[in-house]
Amino acid sequence: MRVHDRGDQVSSLASQLVDPKVVEADARDIEGLALVSFLAKQTYSQWAGDTWRPPSAAREQQRWKERFTDPEGWVAKALDGLELAGAVSVMAARTDGGHGTKIPGVAHLGRMFVHPEHWGRGIGTALLLQGVAEMKQRGYRKAQLYTGARNVRSRRFYERHGWRLGDEPEGYHEGIPMVCYTAGL
């Protein structure tokens, strides 16, 4: 049995990290974006429970189409080499669960997904940083996002990047309890 020292662990981790290219997506990417979010949601049963069922691939395509109809919205994709490895969107935050009036100065970061085969490789961080940069460039002063209340991995990720639990009451999306996180820009 070989004993690994801390240096071996760090080298091993570093070899798994990639330098993803994050670029703006367009409507031609809908099928690939939907596949990434569909596959990511297949893992939700780990924390959402065995009775939770993910939306269909067709529903995921519809959700991405909706993002491209917002003239003020922005959608990006992360590429690991030539592979679509993740996605994120930015839009104006709105009242009434995203269907009401715009909240002045507040952006909503949403639909952030990383293909499960690319987890732990820096894709999520690259998407989040590019999303935040886009919000700043558009003049937003504050950002919000929602994530699964029981999704410990996701919550820790956002907290590591400076996001804090918001004052919004817990809500539900696709039958999953959600919590709001906020960040100053």
* pLDDT confidence of residue 26: 97
Q: What confidence tens digit (pLDDT) does each residue in 121-144 have?
A: 999 999 999 999 999 999 999 999
In a domain, 161, yes or no: no
Task: Report the candidate in 71, 78, 79 with the shortest Cα–Cα distance to residue 138.
Answer: 71
In a domain, 159, yes or no: no
* pLDDT confidence of residue 5: 47
- Predicted TM-score (pTM) of the model is 0.88
Cβ burial, residue 121 (10 Å; 0-12/13-18/19+):
buried
Intra-chain end-to-end CA distance of the chain, in Å: 49
* pLDDT confidence of residue 97: 81
In a domain, 32, yes or no: yes
* pLDDT confidence of residue 98: 84
* pLDDT confidence of residue 50: 85
In a domain, 70, yes or no: yes
In a domain, 8, yes or no: no
Low-confidence ranges of the chain (pLDDT < 70): 1-18, 169
Looking at the 3D structure of the chain, how many domains does it have? 1
Instruction: Give the domain extent around 52.
Output: 18-146
CB–CB of 105/141 below 8 Å?
yes
- What's the CATH number where 109 sits? 3.40.630.30
d(CA 166, CA 38): 27
**Any idea which residue has 């080499």 for tokens?**
81
